[in-house]
Amino acid sequence: MISSRSFSADAEPRSFSAAPVSHDSSTVASPPWLLDTLFRNLSYDLEQVADVIDPILTAQNHCHRTDWYVQGIVSDERAFLSTNINGDRAIQVTLCGTRWLLGQSDRCTVALPLPGVADCHAALNFEPGPGFFLTDLATVGGTWVNGRRLDPAQRHSLQDGDLIKLGSLRFEFLQQHCDQPVWDLD
């Protein structure tokens, strides 16, 4: 176990213990693995990495209501998340996928060790056509989007800037579509 600082949307940081970052497909990568994960997500395509790095590094600047965010990034119909929800506020990036769990459990892709957050609180999903959506996993405290409580197992389509509340944590959902430039070699 490594020691890190805890976080709260409304309080000063405090101490907690966190499991070290591993590199299986269900976990989040943190620097120095950030670039390695981006290259893996984008099939080692330098142009695609260059297209997504700026939105990842500047996501915090797009938060208007909280300091915390989860950003859904789409590049060539592949999706992954970046977030700063951790004790160090470091940028973390998930591997590409279509479903990420949010909650206190170390089985969750985005770990949220805060009061009122269930072990597996919500699922964030991606489908190429409809985009990102959030589902409450029948939690006591519920999952809230823009002040509206979601019914358990209800899929809620997310929009850029949506305010999400899980337990005592409030964060913004950001979306970034990074289309690879088309080069005409003729």
Helices 46-57, 34-41: inter-axial angle, 10-degree rounding: 130
pLDDT per position as a tens digit, 90-112: 899 999 999 999 999 999 999 98
Domains of the chain (ranges, CATH numbers): 32-177 (2.60.200.20)
Instruction: Give 60's contacts (C-beta < 8 A, 6+ positions apart).
Output: 67, 69, 84
Structure confidence at residue 29 (pLDDT) = 52
Question: Is it the case that residue 86 has pLDDT exceeding 70?
Answer: yes
Selected residue with higher pLDDT from 70 and 25:
70
Counts of helices then strands in the chain (DSSP H, E)? 2, 15
Task: Give the percent of the chain with pLDDT over 70.
Answer: 78
Maximum Cα–Cα distance across the chain: 59
Sheet order of strands, 155-157 included: 110-111, 99-103, 122-127, 131-136, 155-157
Structure confidence at residue 80 (pLDDT) = 96
pTM, two decimals, is 0.78
**Phi, psi (degrees; rounded to nearest 5) at 79:** -130, 150
Q: Rounded distance, CA 186 to CA 181, Å?
A: 15
CB atoms within 10 A of CB 103: 23
